[in-house]
């Protein structure tokens, strides 16, 4: 488990090993979510980073409703 220290200005430094594994860059925006008494930090992805995001996932199955007779 990696730890970080909260500064007097309420700032934290994300440890290098986490920055590298998540490919975080300086100036990148992060979303902070409070959930069940915990803080989740999520990177906000740009449109370029989302290209091909679902490429590896299973295709969505879509079935149309049959036309109703009037």
The answer to the question of residue 8 being in a domain is yes
Q: Which residues pair with 9 in a beta bridge?
A: none
The answer to the question of residue 33 being in a domain is yes
We report the CATH number of the domain holding residue 9 as 2.10.260.10
DSSP code of 4?
A: -
pLDDT score of 33: 93
The structural domain count of the chain equals 1
Decide: 42 and 30 in contact? Cβ < 8 Å: yes
* Domain encompassing residue 35: 1-51
pLDDT tens by residue, the chain, 70 residues: 888 999 999 999 999 999 999 889 899 899 999 999 999 998 887 777 667 666 666 777 778 887 777 6
Reported pTM: 0.56
The residue assigned the tokens 């803080």 is 39
The answer to the question of residue 62 being in a domain is no
pLDDT score of 50: 67
Of 22, 24, 43, 40, the C-alpha closest to 32 is 40
């Amino acid at each position: 488990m990696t730890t970080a220290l909260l500064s007097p200005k309420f700032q934290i430094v994300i440890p290098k090993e986490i920055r590298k594994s998540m490919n975080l860059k300086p100036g990148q925006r992060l979303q902070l979510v409070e959930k069940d008494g915990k803080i989740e930090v999520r990177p906000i992805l740009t449109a370029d980073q989302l290209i091909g995001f679902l490429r590896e996932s299973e295709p969505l199955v879509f079935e149309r409703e049959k036309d109703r007779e009037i």
